[in-house]
Chain A
Amino acid sequence: MTEKYIARSRAVAARILDAEMIIMSATDSTLFTLSEVATVIWQAADGRTPLSQIVRQRVCAEFDVCLDDAYRDAEAFAEDLAGHGILRISDRPILDETSGPRVHL
């Protein structure tokens, strides 16, 4: 399996409000609201941590879900957000985006 790395785009504004992560794209002002699991993945998307590690250490540790299912869902989620330009996916660490947007809690 090829490792995947994900990084939050810098062209977004994001904040947790009322236990929900709300994200606004700076390119087209589209709004996104993430589920609890998706929020965990989003917050861990630093461009350096492999997606498999995020799923294993964060998702499976915090939610009652099996690794294979969680990884498949995480991949789909990442690709969906990447399609909207608010997340980047690469098969190598994404060093230029690691600072990402500041996530206000």
Chain B
Amino acid sequence: MTERRHFRSESCPSRETGALGVTVEIGGIPISLRGGDPDFCGLIEQRYAGFVNPKAQPAFEFEFDLDSPAEPSNEDARVFKKGFVWFFERGDFRAAWDVRSRRGRVRQSPNPYSLDTVLRIAHTLVLAGEGGFLIHAASAIRDGRAFLFSGVSGAGKTTMARLAPPDADVLTDEISYVRRCKRGYRAYGTPFAGELARVGANLSAPLDTLYFLVQGPENRVEPVSPSDAARALLRHILFFACDRDLVQRVFDAALAFVSSVNVAKLVFTPDSRAWELIQ
């Protein structure tokens, strides 16, 4: 069953500190972002339009300190844990997040793309604890079921999203959100956009099939063995930390996923007929 969420976008002062804050709810996990300045809060609201939920009770909180403006860095983020505190670092941000208090502090340039990375890292850590993950994949809901289209850059994620028929709701063209639930897995829309440059629909639905995209001369679906599926999935899961426990969790999550979800290869020509196979 598809779940649809409508949030009214509004920034509001924190009840506790009076500081400006925005609660961004992605994948059903509300994260409160507080501090910064009104301009930055406005930027966050714009960037995450459709995912701002002022009424949600935050599961986690981040307090912001804004640095001087800087472009997002191209280097890889370093993510590591000391005791109960996770640290995320890159040229354009530094964050510390205490898993016990569920609070963190971020120092970053006033750039929503830096915040994007901080949020992605936080969500990957949360999801790893419950058997879910973020994955480089486009996704869409059709007939109440979610379909994922994964692949490397250039494989056709944005193309599949762009070619989606009117009866399909595109969840994202770049980063898909997968949570484990009682009866399997559920895919959620994300504001993390690729070339389409459009936030996904804030919807969720039970996951039907994960397709690995390969462009070819015709449209067809090919089976994938569980071990090939696991290897391909592990290559496409967003994964930041070189932490032994986390690696084990992500590894277990990927293997559990391929054991219970349909996984196939979608060979497709870049036109809308490929969607005839997605039923």
- B234 nearest CB neighbor, chain A only: A31
* A10 touching B244 in the complex, CB below 8 Å, given contacts A17-B226, A24-B251: yes
Q: Does A13 contact B (CB under 8 A)?
A: yes
Q: Tell me which residues across on chain A come within 8 A of B247, comparing CB atoms.
A: 11-13, 24-26, 29
- Other-chain contact of A33, B231, B255, B258 (Cβ < 8 Å): B231
Chain B interface extent, by class? 10 to 19
- Are the CB atoms of A27 and B226 closer together than 8 Å? no
- Are the CB atoms of B231 and A28 closer together than 8 Å? no
Q: Does A18 contact B (CB under 8 A)?
A: yes
Q: Does B239 contact A (CB under 8 A)?
A: yes
Q: Does B46 contact A (CB under 8 A)?
A: no
Q: Does A15 contact B (CB under 8 A)?
A: yes
Q: Does A80 contact B (CB under 8 A)?
A: no
Interface residues of B in 227-244 (CB under 8 A from A): 227, 230-231, 234-235, 239, 242-244
Number of A-B contacts (CB under 8 A): 48
Distance A18 CA – B223 CA, assembled complex (angstroms): 14
Q: Does A38 contact B (CB under 8 A)?
A: no
Q: Tell me which residues across on chain B come within 8 A of A13, comparing CB atoms.
A: 247-248, 250-252
- A24 nearest CB neighbor, chain B only: B251
- Other-chain contact of A31, B231, B242, B244 (Cβ < 8 Å): B231
* A22 touching B239 in the complex, CB below 8 Å, given contacts A13-B248, A17-B255: no
- Are the CB atoms of B244 and A11 closer together than 8 Å? yes
- Are the CB atoms of B244 and A22 closer together than 8 Å? no
- Other-chain contact of A15, B242, B250, B251 (Cβ < 8 Å): B251
Interface residues of A in 68-92 (CB under 8 A from B): none
Q: Does A3 contact B (CB under 8 A)?
A: no
Q: Tell me which residues across on chain A come within 8 A of B230, comparing CB atoms.
A: 17, 22
Q: Does B225 contact A (CB under 8 A)?
A: yes
Interface membership of chain B positions 186-228, coded 1 if the CB is closer than 8 angstroms to chain A and 0 otherwise: 0000000000000000000000000000000000000001110
- B247 nearest CB neighbor, chain A only: A26
Q: Tell me which residues across on chain B come within 8 A of A28, comparing CB atoms.
A: 242
Q: Tell me which residues across on chain B come within 8 A of A25, comparing CB atoms.
A: 247
Interface membership of chain A positions 1-26, coded 1 if the CB is closer than 8 angstroms to chain B and 0 otherwise: 00000000011110101111010111
Distance A24 CA – B226 CA, assembled complex (angstroms): 16
Distance A12 CA – B243 CA, assembled complex (angstroms): 10
- Are the CB atoms of B242 and A22 closer together than 8 Å? no
- Are the CB atoms of B239 and A15 closer together than 8 Å? no
Quote the shortest CB–CB distance from B232 to chain A (angstroms).
Answer: 10
Distance A29 CA – B225 CA, assembled complex (angstroms): 21
Q: Tell me which residues across on chain B come within 8 A of A26, comparing CB atoms.
A: 242-244, 247-248
Q: Tell me which residues across on chain B come within 8 A of A29, comparing CB atoms.
A: 234, 239, 242, 247
Distance A15 CA – B247 CA, assembled complex (angstroms): 13
- A102 nearest CB neighbor, chain B only: B248
Quote the shortest CB–CB distance from A53 to chain B (angstroms).
Answer: 29
Distance A13 CA – B254 CA, assembled complex (angstroms): 12
Q: Tell me which residues across on chain B come within 8 A of A101, comparing CB atoms.
A: 248
List chain A positions with a Cβ less than 8 A from chain B. Answer: 10-13, 15, 17-20, 22, 24-29, 31, 33, 101
With A13-B248, A26-B244 known, 9 other A-B pairs at CB within 8 A are A11-B244, A11-B247, A13-B250, A13-B252, A22-B231, A24-B247, A26-B243, A29-B239, A31-B231
8 pairs, A vs B, C-beta closer than 8 Å = A13-B247, A13-B252, A17-B230, A20-B227, A22-B231, A24-B234, A24-B251, A31-B234
8 A-B pairs closest in CB distance:
A13-B251, A26-B247, A18-B227, A18-B226, A26-B244, A20-B227, A13-B248, A24-B251
